[in-house]
A = this chain, B = another copy of it.
């Protein structure tokens, strides 16, 4: 007799064809292609699956947000967050197959734009839902919010969540972006770092000057370098008064989780071809709980071939700060501005670009325990990697704050998915097991 895991895994493969049209819709939000068509397909699919109600929210503009609600047996409600938009497929000549035709390959993967980020993940969740409908019905209430602007900055997402608190009320929010890591361990991630992005600009003269004046006339490139390096300590931490005071202390459970967490330092160094040592003695801890100050870009003067003997009048830089728990973009922006002024660089202009708060679920909460217990049951006790919060970002804080709900990121991606790159893929086995995990999780919330 087949186990339920075997049944779900077989069903996931069988049911794939019925969901494949979702991948064929080239819903590239950067070009606003097939957005409404994809939202319609999704709403229709939710209805077919027996939703109690569905909606497309578009009162604030942007791509419509698709909502669906399914009744279940228990009082508990799981809210799934996904997005139906994808990255542009370009460069097209690097794809080995049609980016919008899901293609099963001999190595056990399935390839398509969005198959990992994030259409495959939603397909896996819909498959779990259909399986449960066919085998005794949903064990708990299930809701979906699927936005269409994730790849272009989730511009309207927070507004929609805030306006639809009541419809979105839930006990657990299951986020996108889950995966199996390089150690073949199933990631259970309970949050994100925050982010602050800003531009710097300094102008030292009305015109570019001849470099023969360089012995006494100031230079925008030097000035911006001086300003930037004044923001770092010799050991490459932020030299910004009060910056680290904002970082919330870690709970004991978080400390324990970090201690147990996978971190393949050597593998990462090799894959990235890293040529310098890590900036921190404990990069694993830094990935969870340390702020960063990253220069994304720096531009000044002449950068072509040959020689141009010029003193640039303007220099610009683009930066992002990853924020630890407790820090907010606004507070960090203000502290950096204050520090630049204090360091004598009030002429350096600072322009806010974007900000997102950090968020971390309470690892001790009952529902979080259920998530990890089910993961251990499905993947094995030693194959579950609890990440208190990822090093990356995402709009989790507004959801958690608006809905007062823990958030966990679990799914069916893998370390080699190549999200945003040509030949994006999923491993079929991860898709199958990830689908069974969702069935098991919903059953556990009965």
Contact = CB atoms under 8 A, between A and B. Distances in A.
B216 A278 contact: yes
Interface in A203-251: 203-207, 209-219, 221-223, 225-226, 228-229, 232, 236
A347 interface: yes
B279 A206 contact: no
Contacts of A311: 294, 296
A393 interface: yes
A295 interface: yes
Contacts of A294: 211, 214, 219, 309, 311
Contact of A217 (B216, B274, B316): B274
A191 interface: no
Given A216-B283, A275-B204, A307-B197, A300 B298 contact: yes
A262 interface: no
Interface in A32-69: none
A204 B309 CA distance: 28
Interface residues of A, number: 75
Contact of A287 (B213, B226, B392): B213
Contact of A296 (B203, B215, B228, B312): B312
Interface in A292-343: 292-303, 306-312, 315-318, 320, 322
A156 B392 CA distance: 56
Nearest to A294: B214
A298 to B, nearest CB: 5
A276 B216 contact: no
Interface in A159-218: 193, 195, 197, 203-207, 209-218
15 contacts: A153-B307, A204-B276, A214-B292, A214-B293, A215-B279, A216-B280, A216-B286, A216-B287, A217-B278, A222-B295, A223-B276, A229-B229, A297-B308, A297-B312, A298-B301
Given A225-B228, A295-B300, A296-B311, 17 more contacts: A197-B309, A204-B275, A207-B273, A211-B292, A211-B294, A211-B320, A215-B280, A215-B292, A217-B279, A219-B294, A222-B232, A225-B298, A294-B309, A294-B311, A297-B301, A303-B318, A307-B318
